[in-house]
């Protein structure tokens, strides 16, 4: 776990400058092209949000431990809060507060390197929330409340917090930055390709934003970026960056589709604006609910797997 600030780290400085320069170049281009088509206008709106959030992410990851992990835990709690508001459960305070408390326990388990406790927390959580109907002496809608609470905790808490498990590894902040950048790039390439070339929509009843063309282009571009930025990984061998690129490009779309299923079922688009040009906070973390845990376990497996 990183105990000191990364602000003076040369790799961090070079990466931060590179990202900000690329954003500036794209921002200038999109600013002058924004009036030509709706695609460029959407790109300009997105790049404006990047100018806001990128310094925040870079500064957060550069903080000394345990601050990055603490902030990541708060992001997970905020995501759960948004989920409860979206599903109309926010007024069910017993379930809401149990979800918050157990998400804090996830962060604590990561900080203390208590792997077994971390993996047991979903079962303990289920046992605790199953007692809430008994404590309240109520049965009305309790199956729904327990199911939604477990869904929020598993996906937005336990699953997403695997990013925190990556964070506390050797050079963890760089791994997290790497994975996050890849997932964002994968999403933007997929959406841009879909707007321009997207024809085949295998999940059209769930989302019009996911197409075969978008996914294929996303895989191609994301793998190229994964190779180009592999210096952020402790091990730069191809199996690590290929695994990261494929996880970001493919699994990130499943996270987006998962939230789309819920939103479609509820008849809503999102629950508010996170930052200018972006959707709610769930729209920022949804792609990581599958990418985070899958890449975490892939990373551990690849570390232990013998070289061919």
What's the token pair of residue 20? Answer: 């900000």
More confident residue, 306 or 297: 297
pLDDT of 1: 47
Is residue 133 helix, strand or coil? helix
| CA dist., res. 161 & res. 63, Å (int) | 18
DSSP annotation of 270:
-
Q: Are 232 and 244 in contact (CB under 8 A)?
A: no
Which secondary structure element, helix H or strand E, spans residue 83, and what is its range? helix 67-86
Tens digit of pLDDT for each residue in 4-61? 789 999 999 999 999 989 889 888 887 887 787 777 777 777 777 778 888 899 999 9
Tens digit of pLDDT for each residue in 211-249? 999 999 999 999 999 999 999 999 999 999 999 999 999
Helical residues (DSSP H) of 112-171, grouped into ranges: 115-136, 142-152, 162-167
Residue of 209, 195, 198, 184 lying closest to 37 (CA atoms): 195
Q: For 168-200, b where at least 16 C-beta lie within 10 A, e where not — what string?
A: bbebbbbbbbbbbbbbbbbbbbbbbbbbeebee
Q: Are 195 and 217 in contact (CB under 8 A)?
A: no
Residue 274, pLDDT above cutoff 70: no
231-to-68, 76, 130, 177, 227 alpha-carbon distances in Å: 21, 28, 46, 12, 8
Find the length of the chain. 308
What's the token pair of residue 244? Answer: 């990261």
| CA dist., res. 280 & res. 49, Å (int) | 12
Q: Are 159 and 262 in contact (CB under 8 A)?
A: no
CA dihedral 289, 292, 293, 296 (to 10 degrees): 180
């Amino acid at each position: 776990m990183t105990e000191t600030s990364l602000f003076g780290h040369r790799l961090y400085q070079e990466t931060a400058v590179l990202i900000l320069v690329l954003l500036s170049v794209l921002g200038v281009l999109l600013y002058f092209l924004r009036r030509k088509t709706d695609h460029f206008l959407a790109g300009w709106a997105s790049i404006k949000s990047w100018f806001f959030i990128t310094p925040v992410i870079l500064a957060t990851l550069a903080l000394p431990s345990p601050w990055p992990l603490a902030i990541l835990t708060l992001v997970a709690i905020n995501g759960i809060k948004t989920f409860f508001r979206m599903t109309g459960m926010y007024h069910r305070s017993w379930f809401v507060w149990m979800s918050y408390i157990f998400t804090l326990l996830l962060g604590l388990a990561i900080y203390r390197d208590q792997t077994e406790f971390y993996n047991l927390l979903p079962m303990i959580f289920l046992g605790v929330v199953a007692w809430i109907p008994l404590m309240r002496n109520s049965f009305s809608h309790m199956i729904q409340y327990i199911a939604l609470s477990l869904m929020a905790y598993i996906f937005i808490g336990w699953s997403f917090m695997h990013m925190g498990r990556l964070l506390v590894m050797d050079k963890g902040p760089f791994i997290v930055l790497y994975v996050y950048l890849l997932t964002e790039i994968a999403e933007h390439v997929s959406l841009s390709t879909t707007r321009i070339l997207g024809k085949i929509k295998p999940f059209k009843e769930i989302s019009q934003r996911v197409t075969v063309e978008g996914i294929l282009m996303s895989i191609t571009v994301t793998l190229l970026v994964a190779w180009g930025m592999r210096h952020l990984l402790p091990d730069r061998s191809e199996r690590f960056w290929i695994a990261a690129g494929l996880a970001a490009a493919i699994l990130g779309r499943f996270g987006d589709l998962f939230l789309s299923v819920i939103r479609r079922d509820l008849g809503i688009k999102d629950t508010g604006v996170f930052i200018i040009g972006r959707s709610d906070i769930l729209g920022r973390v949804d792609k990581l609910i599958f990418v985070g845990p899958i890449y975490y376990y892939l990373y551990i497996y690849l570390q232990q797997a013998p070289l061919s």
